[in-house]
Structure 1
Amino acid sequence: MSRSERLYALDAARFMAMLLMIQGHTLDALVSPRELDIASFPWNIWHFLRGLTAPIFLVVSGIVHVFATHRTPEGKLPEALVWRRLRWALTLVGIGYLMMFPAQRLWHLGHVPPEQWTAFFRVHILQLIGVTLLGVLGLMLLTRTERQLGIAGALMGSVIVALAPATAWVDWYRLLPEPLAAYMSTDRGSLFPIVPFAAYLFLGLPLGSWLKSIPAEQRTRALRVHLPLGGLLLLSLVPFLASGFEWIVPPQANPYHANPGFILLRFGLALLFIGAVAWLAELTPRWGPRYALFGRYALFLFVGHLVLLYGTPWFHSIARLYPKALSLAEGGIAVLAVIAVCLGSVLFIEALRRRFHPAWFLLRAGAVAAVVYLMLAPR
């Protein structure tokens, strides 16, 4: 995305969603349920708002993906871009599974019990984003204009939302192998099945297509005014949609996964959030480049805070050593500490890259080499 095209409000929304995700994971992992009871006020509201983090991030990702895509004069994607997007999607899926790897050494895999394989196959946000981006890449290859892409994304997102009730009735583990069924069902612990979460990213495509089609000087206003108005319109329809679909949703299903009304509730609130952050970004123009910087390191921030909290298959960290053992005040301090370490690491790496350009490549290569060594080490 060129500097003239860049919408810092979108970078700010992605950054804010990441901060919400970090504080949510940290408090949930470390604070005692006696002090953080999601069944009582105000933590029930906090828990509901946590559920908006992924939809916000996915919608913004869909919008940004459109702006970051440049076609040839014939409307095709450059081959280098296709391979880069394919590699990125597969990298996300690979990192998602690596973080849940069920053994410390490759030759220990033969001794892994079934319940650990089930945990390994669960779908988390990285796998969901990676697989959905493969679908987005497919739509981009099939279309020739951003308008066509927007229409295709809207249709795909709408179909996923409409099929949510039917999907919830299916016993996917009887129809598909466990690694595939985990993408369609939460029965064995998957947190982000394709239905409904892929819909949010697909529905970001028509928004990105629309924003890209209007003059650059009008885009910020569109984010601040038109997007929230669309969110309010959706929210006005939610009661009718939720009650209208209630009778075909399985009683045991999570309504935010299976009822189109509740799925669109989260989508509408995501639009309101993006609009609110657009106003904040307007009030903090000097922070624009910082928002963009942290947005570029979104994967690093996500993986980094999880490693700080939970460790890896090769070492444990605070959430595994002291699970749900802190007071609320201690948990708040932990949130600030995790955020400070993550953001400070980004600033350090960026400063290092400016002085020594290959630094980021060497850090990534070193991380890959360390993982390979740990998997193959004799002890």
Structure 2
Amino acid sequence: MSSNVIDSKPKTRLQFIDMTRSLAILLMLEGHFVDITLSDAFRRPDSIAIFTDNQYYFYDAWEYLRGLTAPIFLTITGVVFVYLLVGNEGKKFSENPRVIKGFKRVIELFFWGYVLQFCSFHILECIAVGLFIILLLYGLYKFVRFIPLWCYFFAVGTFIFLFDIYIEQLPAETFWPVNAPFFIQNMLRGPAYLVRFPIFPWLGFTLYGAFIGSLLFQFKTHVLKFYFPFIFLISGFILFYFSYDILNQINLYFFNGKFERLPYIEWLYFRFGIILIIIGILNLLNVILGTISNNIFLKVGQYTLTIFVVHFIILYGRLTGIGITNILHHALNPIQTFIGVTLFIAFFMYFIHRIDYVNKKMEFIAIPARRFWDAAFESILEIFVKKKK
């Protein structure tokens, strides 16, 4: 059988993962639109702490929710990618179609990331690095089989979170690594206006997502059993309520209290706990409702990159030079913002509903571009294969 043929064994479709992915992209659309358009008069001043003034309660709730969007998105990316990757476990690393597709995706994410925000290191670039590291760890696992795959992802994800302690201790204006090229610094610690999602700590969410994805595949026959969602829920609540205490106890018992800054990363595990709770709730819904017929909500989660690119062009005027930010920047009151964000999300829901029609109309551009891209990637791949031989 040709190596290009994906294993015929059917894979268990986890619709709660699709639901989580759809939720993440819709939260992103909502968060970016509100951030662009809501007037400063209705925002909580920086001098007032969050949830301390009832006047800004709804704004605080929105800001709190917005802070979860990126972690959800990064985590679920790792979950989906690894769950599909290990589905072809019987194949060699170089023959696994998901590996080839993964490397293509890495380049594609870097391309769109830098096209939309040249010199910046945003979430697309962060995801690209995450997928690349996942592929490297998966390749290592194929050679060193006595260590479970989830251990690799868990260990690297934990290291990334821990290393952020060192990064945060650096002086505010210190870029790291010192004297490194700017594009390397932008990945790790560079100017704030260029670095929105540095590898430390954000990539940790993707690796923890990969950790979850590998376990989901390992226990795929249990995932849709009634008890399974409670593993997510209980784990999530433990991290949500006790992250600081757990880290503090680890510091006391394993480091004799010398790792004083360890509890400071509790905000990362706190957010990861919320993500586990969300996944658990959606997992439970999936168990109760059973197989859900394909609908526009689930379909949205299958076109996250397309939505991200288009929304960046519409909101920020990337590639076109004019966007919503040029017209409505911090100009709307809450009611106007609510109407606007509802229409904005409705537009993308309709856009995805008609995506097949759009793709059909764009074939005259998409097909030649895809052929060129595939040929270029195959040429690069052949060079590396010849060098290896």
TM-score of the pair, normalised by structure 1: 0.79
User: Does residue 82 of the first structure (1) align with residue 99 of the second (2)?
Assistant: yes
Q: Which residue of 1 aligns with 2:175?
A: 172
TM-fit CA distance, 1:237: 2.6
Q: Which residue of 2 aligns with 1:155?
A: 155
Distance 1:315 1:365 in 2: 26
- Once structures 1 and 2 are overlaid, which stretch shifts more, 70-79 or 192-201? 70-79
After superposition, the Cα gap between the structure-2 partners of 1:153 and 1:290, relative to the gap in structure 1 and judged at 3 Å, is: same
Quick one: which amino acid aligns to residue 82 of structure 2?
A: V
Q: Retained in 1: the 8 A contact 2:94–2:100?
A: no
Distance 1:4 1:87 in 2: 22
Gaps of 5+ in 1: 101-119, 250-254, 369-379
User: Does residue 314 of the first structure (1) align with residue 331 of the second (2)?
Assistant: no
TM-fit CA distance, 1:54: 1.1
- Once structures 1 and 2 are overlaid, which stretch shifts more, 44-53 or 2-11? 2-11
After superposition, the Cα gap between the structure-2 partners of 1:215 and 1:93, relative to the gap in structure 1 and judged at 3 Å, is: closer
TM-fit CA distance, 1:206: 2.0
TM-fit CA distance, 1:182: 1.1
Distance 2:225 2:44 in 1: 39
Q: Which residue of 2 aligns with 1:126?
A: 124
Distance 1:74 1:65 in 2: 16
Deviations 1:260-314 (A, max 9, x none): 2111111111111111233444448545454442222111112222222112243
Distance 1:285 1:71 in 2: 23
Alignment of 1:12-91 (within 5 A): 12-37=19-44, 39=48, 40-69=56-85, 70-71=87-88, 73=90, 76-78=93-95, 80-91=97-108
Distance 2:218 2:141 in 1: 16
TM-fit CA distance, 1:209: 1.6
- How many residues matched? 339
After superposition, the Cα gap between the structure-2 partners of 1:5 and 1:363, relative to the gap in structure 1 and judged at 3 Å, is: farther
Distance 2:164 2:238 in 1: 21
Quick one: which amino acid aligns to residue 43 of structure 1?
A: Y
Distance 2:112 2:303 in 1: 15
Q: Retained in 1: the 8 A contact 2:38–2:331?
A: yes
TM-fit CA distance, 1:331: 0.9
After superposition, the Cα gap between the structure-2 partners of 1:328 and 1:10, relative to the gap in structure 1 and judged at 3 Å, is: same
Q: Retained in 1: the 8 A contact 2:188–2:198?
A: yes
SS in structure 2 at match of 1:315: coil
Gaps of 5+ in 2: 1-5, 49-55, 252-257, 371-389
Deviations 1:183-205 (A, max 9, x none): 11264321111011100110112
Deviations 1:232-274 (A, max 9, x none): 122233232576889855xxxxx9xx93211111111111111
TM-fit CA distance, 1:79: 5.3
Q: Retained in 2: the 8 A contact 1:122–1:188?
A: no
Quick one: which amino acid aligns to residue 30 of structure 1?
A: T
Aligned with 2:13 (options 6, 20, 43): 6
After superposition, the Cα gap between the structure-2 partners of 1:360 and 1:210, relative to the gap in structure 1 and judged at 3 Å, is: farther
After superposition, the Cα gap between the structure-2 partners of 1:296 and 1:324, relative to the gap in structure 1 and judged at 3 Å, is: same
TM-fit CA distance, 1:367: 8.5
Alignment of 1:347-366 (within 5 A): 347-350=353-356, 361-362=363-364, 364=366
After superposition, the Cα gap between the structure-2 partners of 1:150 and 1:72, relative to the gap in structure 1 and judged at 3 Å, is: closer
Quick one: which amino acid aligns to residue 191 of structure 1?
A: R
Distance 2:293 2:107 in 1: 32
Q: Which residue of 2 aligns with 1:104?
A: none
Distance 2:299 2:346 in 1: 15
After superposition, the Cα gap between the structure-2 partners of 1:259 and 1:313, relative to the gap in structure 1 and judged at 3 Å, is: farther
Q: Retained in 1: the 8 A contact 2:313–2:319?
A: no
Q: Retained in 1: the 8 A contact 2:296–2:353?
A: no
After superposition, the Cα gap between the structure-2 partners of 1:310 and 1:284, relative to the gap in structure 1 and judged at 3 Å, is: farther
Distance 1:20 1:284 in 2: 25
Distance 2:23 2:240 in 1: 22
| Identity score, percent | 24
- Once structures 1 and 2 are overlaid, which stretch shifts more, 291-300 or 267-276? 291-300
Quick one: which amino acid aligns to residue 172 of structure 1?
A: F
Quick one: which amino acid aligns to residue 239 of structure 2?
A: L
Aligned with 1:181 (options 168, 182, 185): 185
Q: Retained in 2: the 8 A contact 1:241–1:260?
A: no
User: Does residue 276 of the first structure (1) align with residue 292 of the second (2)?
Assistant: no
After superposition, the Cα gap between the structure-2 partners of 1:218 and 1:206, relative to the gap in structure 1 and judged at 3 Å, is: same
Quick one: which amino acid aligns to residue 271 of structure 2?
A: R
Alignment of 1:176-215 (within 5 A): 176-185=180-189, 187-189=191-193, 190-215=195-220
SS in structure 2 at match of 1:320: helix
Quick one: which amino acid aligns to residue 23 of structure 1?
A: E
After superposition, the Cα gap between the structure-2 partners of 1:236 and 1:72, relative to the gap in structure 1 and judged at 3 Å, is: closer
TM-fit CA distance, 1:25: 0.5
